Structure 1
Amino acid sequence: MTKKVLLVDGMALLFRAFYATAMSNYYMINSKGVPTNAVYGMVKHLFTAVREYEPTHVVACWDMGSKTFRNDLLESYKANRSAPPEEMVPQFDLAKEVTEALNIPNVGMAGYEADDCIGTLSHHYREEAEVLILTGDQDMLQLLEPNVSVVLLKKGYGNYAEYTVERLHEEKGITPKQLIDLKAFMGDSSDNYAGVKGIGEKTALKLLHQYESIEGILENIEHLTKGQRGKIESDLDMLHLSRDIAEIRCNAEVYHSLERAVFDVNEERMAEKFNELEFRNWRKNLL
């Protein structure tokens, strides 16, 4: 049997599910006063993807605290983000309890982001299984390889943009690794790093098509327009720093054997957890 492993970006599913219902103040608060809307929606996203892609193995990856090695590189990394809404806070641990009840391993490592855990595991698993990364984060496209695909969540449930190395090249004309250099130029306002001021996606893509990498561009900097050259030279340190921040690490010290990630839900254990959380109509709406 061909092995197919689904690597789940737990935080991406959880936040997407939370905001989908929180916009209308629908938090699904149970009799214990605990909001469950994010966890319920996360499970719905998960089961919808499982039905669609029929993985043989599933692993969920999580951020472990707010500080990572990227904060050591740049103190202000993600400093512009506000604290999560109070209704969200108790659902972080609940989400992990639920995946555990579904016999899905939870993987995370202090000092690294979920992205790095997913990158590392996809590197481990790609030799023996087809790898699908389920996320809402386009940064994950840098992890694309011949045996690794990225499934981006779109609006609603069951709507996906499926990316392979070929599709990325068709759309942007670049390789997954060149995406890191693209991000280095563009920066990321949501993560609070600047890139090169005045160089956006269009110009960065044009330069990468022509010179392939940051190194190639710098080696040919005299051929650039005066404006491009000036912008790059004045932000050179930030360009290199931004690339370091943008690159998903695939060498985090996390490992989880595929044998322990076989997707095999214990119906009784699942029912007990869903009923404990007071998920209404879960048999009809989730499975």
Structure 2
Amino acid sequence: MLLATFRFFSIFPLPVLHALGSALGWLVYLLSPSVRRRMRENMARAGFEQHLPQAVAEAGKAIAELPFIWCADPARVSRRARIENWELVQSTLDAGRGIVFLTPHLGCFEIVAQEIALRQELMVMYRPPKKEAMKPLIEGARARKNLLLAPANMGGVRMLAKFLKKGLPIGLLPDQVPQEGEGVWADFFGKAAYTMTLPAKMAQLGDAVVIVTYAERLPLGRGYIIRFVPFTGSLDGDSAQQARAINAAMEQLIARNPAQYYWSYNRYKVPAGVAAPAQEAA
């Protein structure tokens, strides 16, 4: 039923879906006190509260565009995407070095992996959905030609490491809250956030290159611009310092288009089994 619904909405033009999404974003914002509170708090902490109205609409677009991104013909989706700075990626691949793509929850992050896979084999880590009914939709939509999936467990980490050592690219969501034992507390927009250590560990395998990337959502449903940005931070130091360097890179990327970040995400939650950061535990 869910898959059929998504396929039905995938027929709609992207401008229509984004218009519906804007309305959906405001409906959720007005009806959900927790979403309202989290968006306001997170945006104020980051200094982007002036972008709140646009962020509400963009959050709805991020949901409404999923049928198009996941279920529409890949060629139709690709026609809506424009690539910027692919030369950075290609020169790294030509040098035989692996790439760790870091894509935060910014803009239409779902389209990034699909567009890379049209040009180059890619393996991405994903967290299997908790609801069984969602698996055919999410796993089927994400598994495309040249796009391989690695589950978010030790087996998946080994798959990523093996792939990367061959000089092939992998993709991670660095701002997703990891589970116990998979992260450290690191500053993110002025507050400690439990941050995964995996990106830095992967980057150190086979002298891989870190590239941060996102897909900016254009106004009026005109499509997306996928941008590839060099990572200029240092991954020297311990796990906490590495995590902070990656969080800093994500902050810089988000500052490019703050209205399109996923501000309602509970980025500062304390995962089960993890001790709260020192300043909160005191």
Q: Whose strand proportion is higher, 1 or 2?
A: 2
Q: TM-score, normalised by structure 1?
A: 0.34
TM-score, structure 2 length as denominator?
0.34
Bigger Rg over Cα: 1
